[in-house]
Amino acid sequence: MVLTRVVGMDRSTEARDTARPPAPALRVALVSGLDSTERSRVSRMIAGVPAEDAPTSDITDETEDSAEFALVLAEHVLAAAHAGATGRTVIELDAEADVMEVGFVLETELEGRRNEGPPAELHDLVTVARVRDVHRWLLSAAPAPAVDFVTAESLASQLEFATVVVLADAADVSPGQLRSTVGLVQRLNPDAAVVTSVATARQPTGWPGGRGCARRLGRRMGWTRALAEPDLPAASWNGVDVLVFRDPRPFHPDRLFDSVRHRLVPDQVGRIARSRGLVQLATRPDHHGSWRSAGDTVSLDPTGIASWDPDAPIGQEMVFFGEHLDRDEIIAALHACLLTDDELLAGPTSWRRYGDPFPAWPLHHDH
């Protein structure tokens, strides 16, 4: 079940924007974050009303599918717009919601129905994060709880997919912690505004956002820019490094799995806070996998990208972000996972017999 709280839907905020051209009837700000107290505090500030005065309503749906829930959410937003709601409305997402999927689907649905009546648009994607959480789950070399495979990935995704990142406890942490957190956010999401004073959320004009913000973010996340723009500076940025790895050869899955466990770890290569990319396993040569790591968690999920697709990468394209990364050791560890010349010459029939400890992907059928 996904729970969403709508804050300030009944309040007009047009007075803030008198200097701008005529705006859509309803501008939506999606607010995500792990900490419900901080998330709610910032949501009410953005809505421009005191906590005790903010009109709120809860939207629940009996589904754990974020895309389906986004469609339900779109119906509520459009119904409010057609009923005369104006200005900015703030929608606070539950911590378990996939903000990227909700954002893309909600934006697409609102755009596709602009001609039905007073329009609404997704205008802002706001992530509320605590510096302490960023360090605990992504930057600290200390192991994360072994039973939690969700929190680190949720936090990293929220930081990547935001027009604005509000660091709620910035005033309560050390300058070093704040600097490395800001550096990581800037690496993961170069276009985001990083807000270190919660009080500024009371006047959110001038934040990067606007119509089409979800699509723009999807094209310009830090890892996609690192792959597309090889001239981006690789030097440490507020203490956070970036490393791009490319190679046309497939990975041997057993060796890659072993490397993740024993070589790509903090005491060997530095703290890899986040990595993203597209990878190809020798045992699954027909399709690329979506690689992502966040802190101590790693996932390799199927994509719809076939190896023969004209836009598919050849082999591996991976980007690593972290503190004090040992570039040579990371590259050496990954190179050791690639097929050797003899293995490559053996061909796909031989490759399919390799051990593959990664979770199986659903069978893909092309029609």
CA–CA separation, 331 vs 7, rounded Å? Answer: 47
Which of 88-97, 111-120, 204-213 is the least confident region? 204-213
**Helices 99-112/151-160 angle, 10° precision:** 40
Q: Which of 216, 356, 364 is nearest to 287 (CA)?
A: 364
Which of 77-91, 197-211, 240-254, 336-350 is the least confident region? 197-211
What residue ranges define each of the domains in the chain, with the CATH number in brackets?
2-220 (3.40.50), 232-351 (3.30.1220.10)
* Triad 24, 29, 30: Cα angle to 5°: 140
Higher-pLDDT residue of 297, 12 = 297
Q: Which residues contact 89 (CB under 8 A, 6 or more apart)?
A: 6, 7, 8, 9, 26, 27, 28, 29, 47, 77, 80
Is the pLDDT assigned to residue 365 strictly greater than 70? no
Is the pLDDT assigned to residue 19 strictly greater than 50? no
Q: Rounded mean pLDDT of the chain?
A: 86
Side chain identity, residue 61: D
CB-CB contact of 99 with 161 (8 Å): yes
Is the pLDDT assigned to residue 16 strictly greater than 70? no
pTM of the model: 0.88
pLDDT at 201: 72
Other beta carbons less than 10 A from residue 365's beta carbon: 5
CB-CB contact of 76 with 83 (8 Å): no
**Helices 151-160/175-188 angle, 10° precision:** 70
* Triad 118, 128, 100: Cα angle to 5°: 60
Side chain identity, residue 24: P
Band (3; pLDDT cuts 50, 70, 90) = very low
Our CA dihedral for 179, 235, 226, 134, rounded to 10 degrees, sits at: -20
Is 308 exposed, middle or buried, given 0-12, 13-18 or 19+ CB atoms closer than 10 A? exposed
pLDDT of 116-147, one tens digit each? 888 899 999 999 999 999 999 999 888 776 66
pLDDT of 275-307, one tens digit each? 999 999 999 999 999 999 999 999 999 998 998
Q: Which of 325, 179, 186 is nearest to 243 (CA)?
A: 325
315-343 mean pLDDT: 96
pLDDT at 335: 98
